[in-house]
């Protein structure tokens, strides 16, 4: 059925940049919104950034001015450009999407995550 696959994670030094990508596949009618969350070991998952189909965005205060979320609706893909990375950004980053199936049932879906490690 619906699947979300993330890519682009890796190991970078503080001050560096990474670009994450997430592509949705499967039987879908529409994607209403997509976003990125992150979870460090022992911590709760927290929202990093989100974007609606219409392009409205919101960010966690901790990443404002450093991260940019964008989407390509035709490709069912969302991106997270991460600049000026800090060690505290280290976490597994998860993509999620609010998706309507052909039956018009709206559900939240999650990817398996991609590791981002920022060294000091």
Note the pLDDT tens digit of each residue in 87-109. Answer: 999 999 999 999 999 999 999 99
Phi, psi of 86, deg, nearest 5: -120, 155
pLDDT tens digit string along 27-68? 999 999 999 999 999 999 999 999 999 999 999 999 999 999
78 pLDDT band, cuts 50/70/90, is very high
Q: What is the mean pLDDT of the chain?
A: 96
> What was the pLDDT predicted at 39?
98
Pairing of strands 114-119, 10-13: parallel
Which of 75-97 are b and which e, b meaning 16 or more Cβ less than 10 Å from the residue's Cβ? ebbbbbebeebeeebbbbbbbbb
Whether pLDDT at 1 is above 90: no
């Amino acid at each position: 059925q619906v699947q979300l696959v993330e890519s682009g994670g890796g190991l970078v030094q503080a001050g560096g940049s990474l670009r994450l990508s997430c592509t949705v596949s499967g039987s879908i009618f529409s994607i209403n919104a997509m976003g990125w969350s992150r979870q460090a070991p022992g911590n709760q998952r927290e929202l990093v950034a989100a974007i609606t189909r219409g392009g409205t965005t919101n960010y966690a205060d901790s990443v404002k001015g450093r991260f940019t979320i964008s989407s390509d609706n035709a490709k069912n893909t969302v991106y997270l450009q991460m600049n000026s990375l800090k060690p505290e950004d280290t976490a597994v980053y998860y993509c999620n999407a609010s998706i309507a199936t052909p039956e018009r049932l709206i559900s939240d879906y999650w990817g398996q995550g991609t590791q981002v490690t920022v060294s000091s």
